[in-house]
Amino acid sequence: MGSDSNKKEVKSLPRLGVLGSGKGSNFAAILKAISERQLNAEVALVASDHADAGILKKAVAAGLPSYVIREPKYKTRLSEGVEKELVRQLRAANVDVLILAGYMRVIKTPTLEAFPGKIINIHPSLLPKFRGLEAWRQALEAGESEAGCTVHLVDEGIDTGRILGQARVPVLANDTPESLHARIQTQEHRLYVETLKQFLQNL
Ligand code: GRF
């Protein structure tokens, strides 16, 4: 065989930016899948709006670049200047796809325009049912017999973007909000990795 046929095309791995506000169990599942080579990607930057969030601690422990978003004014969104600086950081890290993993603020125009069709979220309900906060509690209080989680693209609405994947769990008679959320989270960890894998393959 000639030497040319031995040359493999080296395709660079998609670079993930991750935003989270909480403990980061979905991020941990994604990291595990990357380390076990189930997911072909690399984490370029992990950012959080809480300096002491578990997700940031996990990023630092894994030796990954991290960034603290400092928002002095709003609780549920970022000021435009703060969001533009976040986008600058994500771009500087060469992020291709932005993953929301328990990020508790609404994504606005600067980020949506920087990553069109490339922002993904996981939400703890079977969308379009139960958008917004504590969706597992909403499902329980509505007397649903089934709950679950959804991975979807992010658009300007709250939990309204195109659905990429869903997983279902039963609601049990003795469930508390906590027990139901825990059951949903087990599925989240599997679903997020699986859906992301498909999404990245089709980039
Ligand atoms: C998950 O329930 C996810 O669906 C929601 O926020 C929670 C994040 O959990 N968007 P974790 O920080 O990944 O453990």
The mean pLDDT value for 52-70 works out to 98
The mean pLDDT value for 147-161 works out to 97
Report which of residues 8 and 87 the model is more confident about.
Answer: 87
Closest CA to 20 of 73, 86, 74: 86
The mean pLDDT value for 14-38 works out to 98
CB of 185 shorter than 6 A to ligand 1? yes
CB of 22 shorter than 6 A to ligand 1? yes
pTM: 0.94
* pLDDT at 176 > cutoff 60: yes
Ligand 1, atom 7: closest residue by C-alpha: 102
Report which of residues 3 and 69 the model is more confident about.
Answer: 69
CB of 20 shorter than 6 A to ligand 1? yes
Burial class (CB in 10 A: 0-12, 13-18, 19+), 103: buried
Q: Which atom of ligand 1 is nearest to the CA of 25?
A: 14
* pLDDT at 6 > cutoff 90: no
Instruction: Report CA(26)–ligand 1 centroid distance (Å).
Output: 6
The mean pLDDT value for 32-55 works out to 98
- Annotated catalytic residue, options 123, 152, 181, 189: 123
Instruction: Report CA(105)–ligand 1 centroid distance (Å).
Output: 13
| Residues above pLDDT 70, as percent of the chain | 96
How high does pLDDT run on average in the chain?
Answer: 95
Please report the pLDDT score of residue 1 as a whole number: 47
* pLDDT at 2 > cutoff 60: no
Please report the pLDDT score of residue 8 as a whole number: 63
123 is a catalytic site residue: yes
* pLDDT at 192 > cutoff 70: yes
